[in-house]
Amino acid sequence: MDQAQQSAEDEIRKRLAAGDHRTAFERLVELFSTRVFHLAFSMMRNETQAEDLTQDILLRIWKGLPGYHGDASLSTWIYTIARNTCLTELKKRSARPTVSLHEPEFEEGMDRLSALQTSDPEAGAGMDVNLLLEQLPEKYRQVITLFYLEQKSYEEVGALLGLPLGTVKTFIFRARQQLLKLSRQRPSHSLVHST
Amino acid sequence: MHLNENDPRLQDYLDDRLSPSEIRAIEDHLAACPECQGLVHHAQQVDAEFASHFATITPSRDFTARLLQAANRVGAPTPATETQKQQLENEMRSTWNAENRNFFRSQLPAALDWLGYSTAAAVGFYLLSHFALGAFKAQLKTALSLPATTTLALAAAAAALFMLAGWAVASRHKVARWLSDFAP
Residue B86: predicted pLDDT: 66
Beta-strand runs (E) in A83-173 = none
Element containing residue A140 per DSSP (H, E): helix A138-149
Q: What is the pLDDT of residue A2?
A: 74
The predicted pLDDT at position A103 comes to 46
pTM comes to 0.66
pLDDT (0 to 100) of residue A90: 85
Q: Tell me: the pLDDT tens digits for A107-152?
A: 444 544 444 444 444 433 444 898 899 999 988 999 999 999 999 9
Among candidate residues B167, B116, B98, B140, the one with its CA nearest the CA of residue A84: B98
Positive or negative: CA dihedral A28, A33, A34, A40: positive
Query: Roughly how many angstroms between the first and final C-alpha of chain A, as a whole number?
Result: 44
Contact A181 B85 (CB under 8 A): no
Mean pLDDT of B134-154: 64
Give residue B40's pLDDT: 93
Separation of alpha carbons A53 and A59, rounded Å:
10
The percent of residues in chain B predicted with pLDDT above 70, rounded, is: 56
- Chain-chain contact of A129 with B49 (C-beta, under 8 angstroms): yes
ipTM confidence: 0.76
Q: Which residues of A touch B78 (CB under 8 A)?
A: 66
CB atoms within 10 A of CB A117: 19
B16 → chain A, closest CA residue: A152
A101 to chain B, minimum CA–CA distance in Å?
A: 23
Write out pLDDT tens, residues A87-114: 888 888 776 655 544 444 444 445 444 4
Q: Is the pLDDT of residue A193 over 50?
A: no
Chain B residues lying within 8 Å of A37, measured CB to CB: 58-59, 63
pLDDT for residue A125? 44
d(CA B40, CA B30): 9
User: Which of these ranges, A92-96, B72-76, B89-93, B100-104, has the smallest mean pLDDT?
Assistant: B100-104
Residues A163 and A150 sit within 8 Å (Cβ to Cβ)? no
